[in-house]
Amino acid sequence: MKNLLPGLLLLIVLPLTLSAALPVAVDGQALPSLAPMLEKTTPAVVNIATRGKSRRRIEFPIPSNPLFQRFFNVPGIERIQETASLGSGVIVDAKRGLILTNNHVIKDAYQINVTLTDGRELSAEIIGRDPDTDVAVIQVPADNLVQIPMADSGALRVGDFVVAIGNPFGLGQTVTSGIVSALGRSGLGIESIEDFIQTDASINIGNSGGALVNLRGELVGINTAIYGAGNQGSIGIGFAIPINMARGIMQQLVDVGEVRRGRLGAQGQDLTAQLAQAFGINRNNGFIVTQIESGSPADKSGLKVGDVIVTANGKPIRSARDMHNLVGLQRIGQTIELKLFRDGNEVNLPVKIQPIEISKIDGGLLHIKLNGAMIGEIREQHLQRGRVDYLKIMEVRKTSNAWDSGFRAGDIIYSINKQLSRSFEEAFALVEGSSGNMIMSIQRDNRELYIILK
């Protein structure tokens, strides 16, 4: 269980009680029942139990004590804690044993046990996970499994009946029904990329990774979060990842083990009523381009500062978040068809998403103790944090100076001699201005480490 925004709970166990009933037949006719559909679908929904390890930073009680800082020179210590969680998953490929679930269900897990409805317990391995969308794929031995067919979640309508299947509160598999309350929910602060199905089907803590299906027993979403305060449970506002999104993420995770996102290279802000009036546009929402990176896909396509994007691939763009979500879900090489207003005129503009280019140097150019490491200069654009620049160890050759010094691939160089180092230019200046030993602060797997270069 994880607190999100004011009152959002991320799930780790499955869902539901009845919250929206189907129409009832009369005049002696048999009552409608979901039982036939559920007999086919519930064997594909599994329970997931994990054991993991997480790091917890323990701050010292007297970090400001001068003598304490002099002798230890560290802000705190970290402890490794054993964790356990319960969640759900959906078998989507019986032949290969592939199961869709949430990233937060299997995060930090070193042991994953999957329990089927027939009582079998199987050990699973992680194929790939994507924290930005909270999608993960795990795999179990493919032996007499049942899968759920995937629907087109783009065809969902508000008011469609849906059924949630999961393992709420660890009670065992449970089924609840409801309707689609809303589509395209974003801005909730649950994930970096959001495009949720909202439903009133009762979803409770522990339902993460469970199935949201239509009345044909087709998978339309992966249950992910509920809206509520504290531990009060479901209040009729639940969220699921649309299966169209989850399917695209799964394909990349299965193919390459990770999601490789490209970039547009355009920054902007929400269109307001006041700005719309100033731009002479009869609209109250959209995305105004305020900056374009030189040489980026946006630059090459002819996008200009001041353009107001209103749709992309036929989907309305109402805000900067909508644009962020859409670009984040595109595969490298795909083309986005933009509809925008420029100087009051409507313009259609195709933009091809390209890989994020990273400048690299041999670490030996920076310091002899970094010889054998390839350092990348990373520039990222985050919706909440804005632009973030940092240096990252892209790879380290074993038996090299960098390896012997303690550097590993994935390390982020945070500072040199307690001065922030966010670019090659800053790093070279700090190294040249250093006399004697240097202390490098690096971040590794959410830990802060210090490496002394002599």
pLDDT digits 0-9 by tens, 373-394:
899 887 665 444 445 678 888 8
Query: 259, 290, 317: which is the final residue of a domain?
Result: 259
Higher pLDDT pick, 17 / 342: 342
pTM above 0.75, yes or no: no
User: Among the options 134, 307, 322, 411, which is catalytic?
Assistant: 134
Single out the catalytic residue among 19, 104, 130, 441: 104
Q: What would the pLDDT profile of 398-413 be if each residue is shown by its tens digit?
A: 889 889 888 988 888 8
**pLDDT interval class at 419 (50, 70, 90):** confident
15/91 same-domain check:
yes
Q: How much is the mean pLDDT over the chain?
A: 80
pLDDT digits (tens, 9 = 90+) for 12-66: 333 334 444 555 555 556 677 888 999 999 999 999 988 877 655 544 444 444 4
Specify the CATH number for the domain of residue 63: 2.40.10.120
pLDDT of residue 65: 46
Domain boundary among 311, 340, 355: 355
Last residue of a domain, one of 306, 327, 355: 355
Q: Look at the chain and report how many structural domains it folds into.
A: 3
Domain that holds residue 20: 1-259
Both 203 and 272 in one domain: the answer is no
Of the pLDDT bands very low, low, confident and very high (cuts 50, 70, 90), residue 290 is: confident
CATH number at residue 328: 2.30.42.10
Q: For 203-246, write each residue's pLDDT tens digit.
A: 877 788 999 999 999 999 999 877 654 455 566 788 999 999 89
3-state secondary structure the chain: CEECCCCEEECCCCCCCCCCCCCCCCCCCCCCCCHHHHHHHHHHEEEEEEEEEEEEEEECCCCCCHHHHHHHCCCEEEEEEEEEEEEEEEEEECCCCEEEEEHHHHCCEEEEEEECCCCCEEEEEEEEEECCCCEEEEECCCCCCCCCCECCHHHCCCCCEEEEEECHHHCCCEEEEEEEEEEEECCCCCCCCCCEEEECCCCCCCCCCCEEECCCCCEEEEEEEEECCCCCCCCCCEEEEEHHHHHHHHHHHHHHCCCCEEECCEEEEECCHHHHHHHCCCCCCCEEEEEECCCCHHHHHCCCCCCEEEEECCEECCCHHHHHHHHHCCECCCEEEEEEEECCEEEEEEEECEECCCEEEEHHHCCHHHCCEEEEEEEEEECCCEEEEEEEEEEECCCCHHHHHCCCCCCEEEEECCEECCCHHHHHHHHHCCCCCEEEEEEECCEEEEEEEC
373 and 311 share one domain: no
User: Do 343 and 198 belong together in one domain?
Assistant: no
* Same domain (yes/no): 26, 154: yes
107 and 250 both lie in a single domain: yes
Q: Out of 208, 301, 421, 441, pick the active-site residue.
A: 208
Residues 414 and 439 in one domain: yes
104 is catalytic: yes
Write down the pLDDT at residue 66.
45
